[in-house]
Structure 1
Amino acid sequence: DCGMSKIELKQSLEKIEKVINDACGFFEQMNLPNKSNVNLSKPANSRGAVTTARPPPLVIGRDKDCDNIVAMLHDKEEDAQPDTNRAHSPASASERCIRPQIIGIHGIGGSGKSTLSQLVCAREEKDGHFNLVMWVHVSQDFSVDTIFRQMSEAASRTPCPQFNNLDTLQTNLEKKLHGKRFLLVLDDVWYNNRDVRQYEKLQQILSPLNAGEAGSKILVTSRTKDALIALGAAEQRCIPMSVLGEDVFLKLFKHYAFHNVCVPADDRIRLEDIATHIAKKLKGSPLAAKIVGGQLRMRPNIDYWRSSRDGNHLDDTMGALWWSYQYLDEQVRRCFAYCSIFPRRRYLERHELVKLWAAEGFARSSDEGKDPEDVCQGYFDVLVSASFLQPEVGKYSSKMDAYIVHDLLLDLADKVAGSDCFRIENQWKRSGDNWTMEGCEDEVPLDVRHVFVQTYGSELITEKICKLDNLRTLIIDSAEWRKPVEEKVLKNLFARLRKLRVLIIASDQGMLSVPESIGQLRHLRYLAFMTRYGSDSRLVLPGTLTKLYHMQVLDFGNISDLVFDSCEDMFSLINLRHIIQVPFREIRSIGRLTLLRTLETFEVRKEQGCELKQLSDLNQLCGKLRIMGLQNVESQQEALEANLADKEGLRTLELWWNYDETAELKEKEVQTEVLEGLCPPKLLESLTMYSYDGLRYPSWMMGKHNGGPKYLNTLSLHCCSTELGPELGGFCSHLRSLYIFSCSWDTLPDHMEHLTSLKDLGLNRCRNIRSLPRLPQSLECFKLSRSNEMLMSSCRTVGDPIWEKLQHILVAYVDGYRLETRAQYTSSSEPETP
């Protein structure tokens, strides 16, 4: 960028002064220390050995609370109450308008309400009293359609279909709940008794819940008892969060403060004593225990712990959070503040945040020589270790590596981000029989840098967003149903927002045509046009996209029809690191993009620039790689040029041939040599092969090769026509899952009992396998389907030798029918581990 003028410099200094004044005001408001009246600078040795290992979550002292709540949930008396909102409707005489009973938990922020509700859910899912257990976060500024969607997805464990109005969405949800006795947790409900509209919204989210069976229950958590009463909970069913006993809380605090801390014995004794005093200052707040304990764990220094004990900044939860934030590295604090653009309790994925931070330039400049994403990955690990980012329970999230920011921490992030970050959380509003989208009532700061828009509106973009000359990030989370972002709006946006580094537009079904003026965004590093449901989506890209030389990430998730005439020039984007869900068959000379980290699919073709050797220098590739068209590779030497063994970041590899039942011996020999040359890296975790028709398996799969994967845990073989399977020796010593589909083997590999880590074995459409070898004792799940009739019959016949080989397996299925095994009875008779 060009240098500043004197006027711009003066304006910048005024902005800095305003931020400082705002921060000081924040200190005073929260009764927190600031740099002017107390020395909060980091001790000289505070940045010594810092550990980022996160201790496992610990829940203690809540058994009695959990027992009381479960007893109320199972109470059959007064299971339900009349729905007063529908009692006078014409249909009420013929419908069962009974609302599930509501039980509430209330307590201050950070007291462990969400954790307790999840503990109850886990117990109920194991107990089986309810047909369906759902957990939904509500938050302060919730929208009814969002809550309905979350309920729908929690009910079916699948993405919610797209509907164009709330009535249809509600009807769909009622169908999913019909005939089921369910438990629904509404977590973190806010209520203002002066806000009539909020009360109406709360009543509205309860309306579909009448569809469940008698005995269904709703568990609500809130900071106030008033919210529980407003939803209809009886006074005696509003449970206050109990205060953890001093000894229990100290145990919880020490769990987070001392996990994996290695210090001399004398130092340990002194630290234990200091920890006892610090724990008393935290007043029983589990969130404070986790945050402060994590910060102390990263710096096990006696002077540092003593100064923390003697200060007054740990006397309340928010003060403890601020104190912990102060001791984060400057760049880590910047990354944390950036999280404030996302709505409360939004699931944040690790790989997405890391790429965003890298695109924003948050990696410390002193880390030259290190890859910016590796640096940002380190920042992420620090935030997780310090519990500023908390892993979300996988059972209640469809995302595999999802994290959330606790509400109190998001309040802190909002404060420290100041006017840099702003989120616009639009709402659906009912007017008669129609639903309309409310606009943004708050003024957007003109100096804002990062903006999140929950729902697109053309007026919002043209009248407010396009005036933000300093904008670096624009995330539009959802365009209206069947109304994608108009091309004229994009033209206006590209003309005005020249400093954009990140542009993400997530729409629903529809067509989006990107104007050529996108080439004006010369600072753009992260570009994503995505759709949740790709069946009717079309995206047209201009050739000027290839002029955005700083581009690092291209993500076109779920787009079904992508039109881009200049994809042959993609190699000019020399800084490109991630090509995500981009269905370009015509990308040529991709080997020039040597910084690539994500390339989900590469197709080998007999054309210039599409050879397998294009992968040769792409050694930064990580995660998953699918190589298709391997029938077009003609020699082992050509396969070796892919240099797969040096791609140490790869964890999942798929190798695809086109099946040809007329293949001659020579072609089979070529496939054999090609697979021999495709030796994967040592740290590969998952290998899948499709339609391999070679004469034998390669030496690196037979344990006869110094190279090859050493820690493979999943192996899937589809339509592989060799007569014998591979020898699963040293190659598979860590194998946990083995899946075989439509393979023409006569038998399973020998010595399978030596696969002592194997947990899952699946056979599908294996017509020639008539018997089973001795299976490993570690096996927990066995599934056999659509295979040899004799084999399946033997598995089902009590006393058959093959039936006997399955008796140590806990879960065994044959064509969808679950077998009874001795392991089931052994497991059910064992006492539960406390």
Structure 2
Amino acid sequence: MTVEVAVGMVLGVAQTLFAALQCKELKEFCSKFKYDSQLEALRGTVETIQKVLLDADSRQLELNNQGLDWVNKLKDAVYEADDLFDKFATVAQQHKRMPGSKISKKVHTFFSSENRLLFGFRTCKEIKEIRKKLDGVAKDHTQFGFSDVYRPVKRKEETWSYVREDSIIGRDADKEEIMGVLLRESDSSVDSVSFVSIVGIGGLGKTALAQLVYNDVRINDEFDLKLWVCVSDDFIMQEILCKMLKSATAQDHGDIGAEGVQNKVRHCIEGKKYFLILDDLWNESRDEWLKLRDFLQVGARGSRVVVTTRSKRVAGAIGDYPMFRLSGLSDDDSWHLFKRVAFNRGSREIDDDLVDLGKNIVKECANVPLAIRVVGSMLYGQEKSRWKSFQRIGLSKMVQGEESIIKILKFSYSYLEPQLKSCFIYCALFPKDYEIEKELLIRLWSAQGYLEPINDMQNTEDVGEEYFSILLQRCFFQDVIRRSDGEIYSCKMHDLIHDLAQEIAGKESYLMEDTSKSPFDRKSRHLAISVRRPLVLSPSDTFSKLSGLRTLLRHRWLVYESQVSTIIANCRRLRVLDLHSLRIKALPSTIKNLLHLRYLDLSHNKDLETLPESISRLYNLQVLNLRCCFSLEELPKDLRELVNLKHLDIIACFDLGHMPIGMDRMTGLRTLTRFVLGPESSKKGQTGQLRDLVPLINLRGTLEVIFEVGYTYDSMNSEEEAYLSNKEHIKALTIQENALWHHYKIVDERLLERLEPHRDLIEMTIFGYKGVTLPRWAATLATTLPRLVSICMRHFHDLQHLPAMNQLQHLKTLVLTDMPNVELMESDNNVALSFPSLVDLTLKKCPRLESFPRCPRVKTFDLLRLNEALTFCEQRDDEANATTPAASSFSASSSSGDNDNNSAGVDVFDLLRLTTDNLELIKSLFGESIRSIGELNLRNMKVESLSSVEEEYLRKYAFSIRSLRFNSCRNLKSLSGGGIEHLTNLACLNIWKCPNLELEEDEGFPWKDLHALSVLELESLPQLIDLPKGIQYLTSLQSLSIQDCEDMKTHPEWPHCPKSLRTLSINYCPELKSLPEAILPSLTRLRISLSNGLKERYDELNGTDFSKISHIPDLSLEF
């Protein structure tokens, strides 16, 4: 075992210990008790130990068992000393606090005359003991060849070689071979879905090759839907389906249960020709695989699934399908890749010696892309001597295979700076393929003290950003996801990099994923638990082993509320405590005893109503996460005592009625997601005030300002200042009044004027406004907030004119809802293109709106309850000063700069979705400008039957409409004669809440023409008594859903049910007595709920005909 395995993480601890000993307050405190000489001597000992650790880390010596025992003793002593002096530093800083604070009073009481000598004696004794222990271990360092010669730690340059994810070299031929298989007609006469496997050792680029295929434009043209799922170690069908659902919808659906997940995934893929990547599959059980394979067969014929795996046995378990064995890169491609990451791309001349060295190093990388990338990134920008030493270390002894790659990765790890090693090893706490949020990771690093600012001008978050960037650019992180503003949101670790982190961390930074093995070892300083069933912990045995624990994270673990007190009582050295989603109703007051705690996550505890006041005694707390604690009514009154708190997340704490007093003193806050003002907030001295926001200039990210019922604002107070304009780092702002539903309006022009945000704001949402006109800043958005990307304005009941927004160059989303008196939006005729970036537009409940500026690049329109005289228009030059813009058609410019079909200068719209209650209005608004519509939603239409307008639209866009929905059309009686017969490409038809529609009597409905219809959903149709006869002609129908049809009484044999059906869902149809027996053998999914008429025949326990459905793989019965 090499030394870096033993000391990598403790380097960060030694760093924090040395910093604690430099604490000014601690020095003053010790001086008062006359043991500053002891402190100085200890500082010298720690400095020596720090140098020894740095030497051990840099020299990469091999140690025998005695040497390893010595290193472990040294580590234990350093951890103990760090805990001790973190306590001393905390007490010293509390002691220095202003006398008026409650904490200071308690500290001063403790340091009364009768206690002072006793405390001084005990402290001096503890310092002597820890110094003796450290000296005793450190004096033996020369026995193992270590030196205490100072070796300065230098921070690396900030310029690095970064390999973009699309820079994949040498896989074009492999991609084309796989594409040929995927695009070839399937010769299977049985399965709708066929499979292809890509097999190869880790690091060869299986995922990268799959990404190349996935993003090929031919895949987009060939398939209706693309999905990407990383399976990783555990093959659990429900988790795979959850990931499929997230990939298909781009949303996290939370915990909706196994049945809910299967329902939604089935709805997404049923009848569609889909393309699915299952990346990094390990499971070799054919039985488990067959369950998933059967589920996937609901897709349309021609669907494809690509599996990547390291195991040929896994590929064999999939079945007799094509298997592509991936090999290493060619020598030329390997060198090409190395040059890209190891040399400056802008440099025309490369040192010949470096070229020779590089080629020799590449040979030892076994043509494995991951190894080449990591080594090249590590050597980028290094001196020639570093290249030579790297080559000498032992690359020539390596053999091809995953073991050689791990060795190369270890060398790259050894070249990290000491503080970066601690940060990297800490990542072993995350499961494989885990999406690691950057902000979370930096906050965890900070809680452990790993982030060392260069000077007083730099904060720990800046250091964390730098460290993250270095690890990313060195290829220790990958698969970056960015926010809309370009900032990195999350990343992942390659499986081999993850293996490396866990191997180096050992039990010190340990992820428990297997409940058969106890992780509770005294060596564990950082523990993360990810298990799927309750983990029984014995207070008398287990927790006694956790006394040295500094981190407790739970990715997946059911902790009983009673165990929380036990954890707090036994784990007193915790810096990080994760108690999210435990349904905690109350947090023990003993939380105050966690003196070292920096990070506390209580998020998603929906029943948590209050926090103990003692939480305000957590002096070192930096992060308090209370997100989605829906029932939380108030924050601790002395919250202001948390002087080191940087991040307070109270998003979705809906019952929170006000903020505590003294928020204005918490100037170190960088995150404050919600600021609530209730009735008491109107009175000085009782709760937090709106003006408390003014000093909080370091806030960043998201901020919601919430006005609750009863709040009153003194608009006549001229001393009040702007509350938000000095917050340049706030990117998303919501101003919301919850009094709206009580017919009580709060936000007026004077108040909104003082809520002006900084000009760098990206997203703005305002719910509720009672002014007739807008304040200056809101009336000139293009000048005051030029960087806006999203605007949402709702419930502006008295406003008459909207400000000009069409000149906002970056605006992508605009939502305007419930503005009953707005007549127009002013527009600026001086812009070259109106709304140049807008892609999503919602106009709803604006009955007086007469004109709206052109928006030629929109892809999604939601237009509901609008003035029938509404026009999209532009200002003419001769009307630049007119109050009301002049109407015109879409004719000023093309909808996209690269649209060759717009040579005539006419706007053309290829809409992804159009939602409307009035197609006549759509016709008058757009004329001939709409070229295609993917999804048409007709909502709240008042007609009894489809008119010539509906017929015209359905006929005109029949080639592109894949989804048609009728929603809440309460007067609609018939769908015949409305143009549905033209929709030969229609894949999904949804009819919902149309109480007068009689489908089975509608003989004119063109069922025969819907050749491609694969999904039919009928919901809340009280007139539906029997299945329409015409449904028998839907030869492509694979999914039928019938919900909330109380009087439906189908024929016992269901004679009209198409034989192609694979999924049948029945919910709340109490009069239904039988199922379509002819198609039961071919069903792969059956869902029955709240339909007691079917219980007698199909109940699992006593049903007379249960045997007829028992074979169905995906079966759910809830009578």
Q: TM-score range by the shorter chain?
A: 0.7 to 0.9
- Tell me the amino acid that sits aligned with residue 683 of structure 1: D
What's the secondary structure of 1:229's corresponding residue?
Answer: helix
- Tell me the amino acid that sits aligned with residue 79 of structure 1: S
Out of 444, 458, 465, the residue aligned to residue 370 of structure 1 is: 458
RMSD, aligned CA? 4.6
What's the secondary structure of 1:475's corresponding residue?
Answer: strand
Whose RCO is larger (CA < 8 A, sep 6+)?
A: 1
1: distance between equivalents of 2:306 and 2:913? 36
Out of 850, 853, 873, the residue aligned to residue 770 of structure 1 is: 850
Alpha-carbon displacement from aligned partner over 1:132-160 (angstroms, at most 9, x marks no partner):
43322222345454334334444554445
What's the secondary structure of 2:577's corresponding residue?
Answer: strand
2:30 corresponds to which residue?
A: none
Shift of 1:47: 5.0
Shift of 1:407: 0.5
Out of 449, 458, 479, the residue aligned to residue 525 of structure 2 is: 449
What's the secondary structure of 1:585's corresponding residue?
Answer: coil
1:556 corresponds to which residue?
A: 626
What's the secondary structure of 1:567's corresponding residue?
Answer: coil
Distance 1:572 1:207, change over 3 A: farther
Distance 1:55 1:722, change over 3 A: farther
2: distance between equivalents of 1:243 and 1:401? 32
1:677 corresponds to which residue?
A: 754
What's the secondary structure of 1:790's corresponding residue?
Answer: coil
Out of 239, 254, 277, the residue aligned to residue 324 of structure 2 is: 239
2: distance between equivalents of 1:815 and 1:756? 20
Q: Residues 610-649 of structure 1: matches in 2 within 5 Å?
A: 610-629=688-707, 632-635=712-715, 641-649=721-729
2:279 corresponds to which residue?
A: 187
2: distance between equivalents of 1:640 and 1:574? 26
1:138 aligns with 2:231: yes
Is contact 2:806-2:827 (8 Å) kept? no
2: distance between equivalents of 1:258 and 1:51? 12
2:731 corresponds to which residue?
A: 651
What's the secondary structure of 1:802's corresponding residue?
Answer: coil
1:578 aligns with 2:663: no
Distance 1:327 1:824, change over 3 A: farther
Out of 492, 501, 515, the residue aligned to residue 588 of structure 2 is: 515
Distance 1:267 1:76, change over 3 A: closer
Alpha-carbon displacement from aligned partner over 1:164-211 (angstroms, at most 9, x marks no partner):
7x688667755665444433322112257xxxxx56545555453344
1:569 aligns with 2:638: yes
Shift of 1:606: 0.7
Relative to structure 2, which stretch is displaced further, 460-469 or 327-336?
460-469
Alpha-carbon displacement from aligned partner over 1:456-490 (angstroms, at most 9, x marks no partner):
6352364535521110111122344xxx6232x11
Out of 179, 192, 205, the residue aligned to residue 70 of structure 1 is: 179
Relative to structure 2, which stretch is displaced further, 273-282 or 113-122?
273-282
- Tell me the amino acid that sits aligned with residue 65 of structure 1: D
Out of 292, 298, 308, the residue aligned to residue 375 of structure 2 is: 292
2:542 corresponds to which residue?
A: 464
Shift of 1:579: 1.5
1:716 aligns with 2:792: yes
2: distance between equivalents of 1:292 and 1:636? 66
Shift of 1:214: 4.0
- Tell me the amino acid that sits aligned with residue 560 of structure 1: F
- Tell me the amino acid that sits aligned with residue 568 of structure 2: F
Distance 1:61 1:43, change over 3 A: farther
Distance 1:411 1:791, change over 3 A: farther
What's the secondary structure of 1:652's corresponding residue?
Answer: strand
Distance 1:794 1:301, change over 3 A: same
- Tell me the amino acid that sits aligned with residue 577 of structure 1: K
Is contact 2:790-2:813 (8 Å) kept? yes
1:588 corresponds to which residue?
A: 660
1:423 aligns with 2:504: no
Shift of 1:336: 1.0
Alpha-carbon displacement from aligned partner over 1:561-582 (angstroms, at most 9, x marks no partner):
2256x62222222221112135
Is contact 1:125-1:133 (8 Å) kept? no
Out of 470, 474, 484, the residue aligned to residue 382 of structure 1 is: 470
- Tell me the amino acid that sits aligned with residue 221 of structure 1: T
Is contact 1:656-1:689 (8 Å) kept? yes
Paired residues, what number?
751
Is contact 1:452-1:475 (8 Å) kept? yes
Out of 99, 102, 108, the residue aligned to residue 195 of structure 2 is: 102
Distance 1:262 1:191, change over 3 A: same
What's the secondary structure of 2:420's corresponding residue?
Answer: helix
1:119 corresponds to which residue?
A: 212
1:603 aligns with 2:690: no
Distance 1:150 1:812, change over 3 A: closer
1:542 aligns with 2:542: no
Is contact 2:576-2:597 (8 Å) kept? yes
2:579 corresponds to which residue?
A: 505
Is contact 2:780-2:803 (8 Å) kept? no
Is contact 2:235-2:282 (8 Å) kept? no
Is contact 1:458-1:485 (8 Å) kept? no
1:256 corresponds to which residue?
A: 341
1: distance between equivalents of 2:152 and 2:448? 30
1:436 corresponds to which residue?
A: none
Shift of 1:781: 3.2
- Tell me the amino acid that sits aligned with residue 528 of structure 2: F
Shift of 1:515: 2.2
2: distance between equivalents of 1:507 and 1:658? 26
Is contact 2:361-2:395 (8 Å) kept? no
1: distance between equivalents of 2:276 and 2:440? 30
Shift of 1:521: 1.4
2: distance between equivalents of 1:323 and 1:340? 18
1:745 corresponds to which residue?
A: 822
2:966 corresponds to which residue?
A: none
1:32 corresponds to which residue?
A: none
Is contact 1:653-1:687 (8 Å) kept? yes
Is contact 2:853-2:872 (8 Å) kept? no
What's the secondary structure of 2:231's corresponding residue?
Answer: strand
Shift of 1:549: 1.9
What's the secondary structure of 1:758's corresponding residue?
Answer: coil
Is contact 1:244-1:284 (8 Å) kept? yes
2: distance between equivalents of 1:211 and 1:562? 44
Is contact 1:552-1:576 (8 Å) kept? yes
What's the secondary structure of 2:850's corresponding residue?
Answer: coil
Alpha-carbon displacement from aligned partner over 1:343-400 (angstroms, at most 9, x marks no partner):
11111011111111111211126555532222112211211222211134689xxx98
2:188 corresponds to which residue?
A: 79
1: distance between equivalents of 2:675 and 2:758? 17
Is contact 1:701-1:728 (8 Å) kept? no
Alpha-carbon displacement from aligned partner over 1:623-662 (angstroms, at most 9, x marks no partner):
0111122974333877963542322221112223568799
- Tell me the amino acid that sits aligned with residue 486 of structure 1: E
Distance 1:639 1:419, change over 3 A: farther
Shift of 1:256: 3.1
Relative to structure 2, which stretch is displaced further, 339-348 or 248-257?
248-257
Alpha-carbon displacement from aligned partner over 1:531-569 (angstroms, at most 9, x marks no partner):
3xx7x64465333222222211111232322256x6222
Distance 1:603 1:492, change over 3 A: closer
2: distance between equivalents of 1:171 and 1:673? 50
Distance 1:794 1:389, change over 3 A: closer
1:150 corresponds to which residue?
A: 243
Distance 1:719 1:53, change over 3 A: farther
- Tell me the amino acid that sits aligned with residue 68 of structure 1: E
Out of 407, 414, 428, the residue aligned to residue 495 of structure 2 is: 407
1: distance between equivalents of 2:493 and 2:194? 30
2: distance between equivalents of 1:135 and 1:615? 43
Q: Percent identity?
A: 25
Is contact 2:850-2:871 (8 Å) kept? no
Q: Residues 152-191 of structure 1: matches in 2 within 5 Å?
A: 152-160=245-253, 162=255, 177-190=269-282
1: distance between equivalents of 2:428 and 2:238? 22
Is contact 1:474-1:504 (8 Å) kept? yes
Q: Residues 324-363 of structure 1: matches in 2 within 5 Å?
A: 324-363=412-451
1: distance between equivalents of 2:827 and 2:872? 20
